[in-house]
């Protein structure tokens, strides 16, 4: 049994420091992408870490958030914050609906259903071309935003906004994990039948966690659209779900701090390698195999394992 850490803790400080340092080390547009995909990966990390649910379908909610945000910005003339809130809300509602069906199935069934529903979202986008723009996506969105009098137009202010959004979600997840609700989720992860026997409405708790994760992914989709200025259909493709999962795994299974680390790693590596060798995903695949076999805690967990190794060595001396 893992002890529940209080928050804000060391991880909060590290993440905050990393967000400040990030735009100094990489270009601001790249830093924005890192923050956006880290937000999306937080939804995977929440499910996997807090409840132990492996989702291959978080890209669905990211994509839905992206389309909702794009359509509201363009056609309904909504402002930045209302559009983002609606993106998060749409992700929450859809994930809540699908979740109430999916959580009834356990283990591999759950995983398969998340993937199947993610595919469904992609084909829905193709089926309703007049709303979604089909394979062309949606363009013609506003490129300039105001937030409390500050203009968000240049790369650095854009990064500030994305990093702020990521940090808020990060704090929210830390708060949720440390809450009584989070303790129940952890109990479900450790021993679901026992929770059921204790009288907890397990399905309802799991649905709530899935809905929350869907909302976070939806928000990330909205952020991505704000950043890009259009809605790419790739946001709702299966590849997006896989990307979020890979980022969360590289960072460390289920650790919220790892999402930022994984996203930074993935985004920087893809940026650096895609020019030299377009098939760099093969390397990611090899890395993933290595992680599963040798480093189950991911990069974030490596820190703990290395310190554990040192501790063991000193104990032997």
Query: Which residues of the chain form contacts with another protein (CB under 8 A)?
Result: 54, 101, 104-105, 107-109, 111-113, 115-117, 119-120, 123-124, 126-129, 238-239, 242, 249, 253, 279, 281-282, 284-286, 288-289, 291-293, 296
Q: How many CB atoms lie within 10 A of CB 115?
A: 17
Is the CB of 127 or the CB of 308 nearer to another protein? 127
Give min distance, CB of 277 to another protein, in A.
Answer: 10
Is the CB of 103 or the CB of 264 nearer to another protein? 103
Is the CB of 112 or the CB of 156 nearer to another protein? 112
The C-alpha atoms of residue 35 and residue 164 are separated, in whole angstroms, by 9
Closest CA to 226 of 17, 15, 35, 18: 35
Give min distance, CB of 52 to another protein, in A.
Answer: 9
The C-alpha atoms of residue 273 and residue 271 are separated, in whole angstroms, by 6
Is the CB of 74 or the CB of 189 nearer to another protein? 189
Nearby residues of 246 by Cβ (< 8 Å), 6 or more positions away: 262, 266, 284, 288
- Take residue 299 and report the two structure tokens written for it: 């990069």
Is the CB of 62 or the CB of 86 nearer to another protein? 62
The C-alpha atoms of residue 38 and residue 27 are separated, in whole angstroms, by 16
Give min distance, CB of 118 to another protein, in A.
Answer: 8
Give min distance, CB of 104 to another protein, in A.
Answer: 6
Give min distance, CB of 131 to another protein, in A.
Answer: 12
Give min distance, CB of 188 to another protein, in A.
Answer: 15
Contacts 24+ apart (CB under 8 A), 71-75: 71/131, 71/138, 73/141, 73/142, 73/225, 73/226, 74/138, 74/140, 74/141, 74/142
Is the CB of 39 or the CB of 242 nearer to another protein? 242
């Amino acid at each position: 049994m893992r002890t529940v850490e209080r928050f804000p803790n060391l991880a909060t400080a590290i993440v905050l420091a990393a967000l400040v340092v990030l735009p100094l080390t990489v270009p601001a547009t790249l830093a924005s992408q890192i923050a956006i995909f880290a937000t999306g990966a937080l939804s995977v990390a929440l499910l996997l870490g807090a409840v132990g649910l492996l989702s291959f379908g978080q890209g669905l909610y990211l994509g839905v958030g992206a389309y909702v945000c794009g359509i509201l910005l363009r056609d309904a003339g909504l402002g930045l914050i209302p559009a983002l809130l609606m993106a998060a809300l749409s992700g929450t509602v859809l994930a809540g609906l699908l979740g109430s069906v999916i959580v009834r199935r356990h283990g591999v069934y759950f995983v398969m259903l998340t993937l199947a529903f993610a595919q469904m979202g992609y084909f829905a986008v193709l089926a309703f071309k007049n709303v979604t723009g089909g394979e062309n996506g949606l363009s013609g969105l506003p490129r300039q935003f105001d937030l409390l009098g500050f203009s968000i137009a240049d790369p650095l202010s854009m990064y500030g906004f994305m990093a702020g959004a990521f940090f808020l979600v990060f704090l929210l997840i830390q708060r949720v994990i440390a809450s009584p609700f989070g303790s129940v989720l952890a109990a479900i992860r450790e021993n679901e039948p026992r929770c059921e026997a204790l009288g907890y409405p397990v399905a309802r708790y799991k649905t709530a966690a899935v809905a929350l994760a869907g909302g976070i992914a939806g928000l990330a989709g909205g952020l991505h659209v704000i950043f890009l200025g259009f809605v790419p259909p790739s946001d709702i493709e299966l590849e997006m779900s896989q990307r979020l999962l890979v980022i969360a795994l590289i960072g460390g299974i289920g650790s919220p701090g790892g999402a930022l680390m994984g996203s930074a790693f993935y985004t920087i590596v893809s940026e650096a390698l895609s020019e030299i060798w377009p098939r760099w995903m093969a390397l990611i695949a090899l890395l993933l195999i290595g992680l599963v076999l040798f480093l189950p805690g991911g990069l974030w967990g490596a820190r703990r394992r290395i310190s554990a190794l040192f501790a063991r060595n000193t104990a032997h001396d």
